[in-house]
Amino acid sequence: MAKQNNSGYPVSHIIGFIASLVMTFAAVGIALKTNLSFTVIMWLIGSLAMLQAGMQLFMFMHVTEGKDGKANLINMAYSFFLAVVVVGGSIWILTSGHMAH
């Protein structure tokens, strides 16, 4: 990850911004200019979105910097796990018919 130089110019922010734009335009291009199936397009756009969100956590929010960098990563991983369990469990319960008598 690029650090700021002595003049205070935010090199990492510029790199992150350009990378975000590239991923956004790639998603638009995939959605509008390809003849792929809807499912494949959605998977590609979702993958680019997750990649972009992760990159922004490191480039703009400086997750790993400071004395609590490792704790921040662990807390975010646990939060993601809880979100997956809650959403997945809710979808499972609502769609599996357990409440039908």
User: Using one digit for the tens of pLDDT, what is the confidence trace for 10-53?
Assistant: 888 899 899 999 999 999 999 999 999 999 999 999 999 999 98
Domains of the chain, by residue range, sit at: 1-62, 66-101
73, 74, 77, 78 alpha-carbon torsion, rounded to 10°:
-150
Q: How many CB atoms sit inside 10 A of residue 52's CB? A: 19
List phi, psi (to 5°) of 56.
-70, -30
Look at the pTM and tell me if it is higher than 0.75.
no
Tokens found for residue 81:
């796990």
User: Using one digit for the tens of pLDDT, what is the confidence trace for 51-84?
Assistant: 998 888 878 877 777 777 778 788 888 988 999 9
Query: In Å, what is the CA distance from 2 to each residue of 16, 45, 59, 62, 90?
Result: 10, 26, 9, 11, 41
